[in-house]
Amino acid sequence: MKTRAILISLFVSILSLTFLLNCGDKEKPKEEAAPVASAATLSPEVEEGKKLFLENGCNACHGDSGAGDGAAAASLNPKPRNYKAPANEWKNGPTEAGVLKTLNNGIPSNPVMTSYKFLGDEKLKKIAKYVIYLNQN
């Protein structure tokens, strides 16, 4: 009889401990606590540049992430600029001045990369900032 009472007490103790450990508020795992950077973290100027990049079809050739893999890229020769490419592969460099030069003048040896000067300086500057963002991220 004593053995049975001890076993029941032991069983109830283990069951109680199990409920105690598995119930109640839990801390979130660390991987959930750190959110991934999103488009919401872009500055307003870079966000506007992204909008202009998409509205003007830049992503058709350069792709949504700037990898040079847009829908039209497969049929183009030379291939569109991959914004992740090293600086020495850029015609005018991955700086704001270099990107603005490309947007204003196009690439004379490439009939597909034409001038976007018609958009105006303010819009071109925002697109350039977005291209630089793509290059760095």
Three-class secondary structure of residue 90 per DSSP: coil
pLDDT at position 111 is: 83
> pTM score, two decimals?
0.68
pLDDT at position 34 is: 40
Q: Which of 88, 73, 87, 81 is nearest to 103 (CA)?
A: 81
pLDDT at position 3 is: 74
Domain ranges of the chain: 44-136
pLDDT at position 41 is: 85
> What is the fold, at CATH topology level, of the domain defined by 44-136?
Cytochrome Bc1 Complex; Chain D, domain 2 (1.10.760)
pLDDT at position 21 is: 56
Asked if residue 45 lies in contact with residue 126, where contact means CB atoms within 8 angstroms, the answer is: yes
Asked if residue 125 lies in contact with residue 103, where contact means CB atoms within 8 angstroms, the answer is: no
pLDDT in tens, the chain (137 residues): 677 666 566 555 564 545 545 665 555 555 444 444 444 588 999 999 999 999 999 999 999 999 999 999 989 888 899 999 999 999 899 999 999 999 999 998 888 899 999 999 999 999 999 999 999 98
AA identity, residue 83: Y
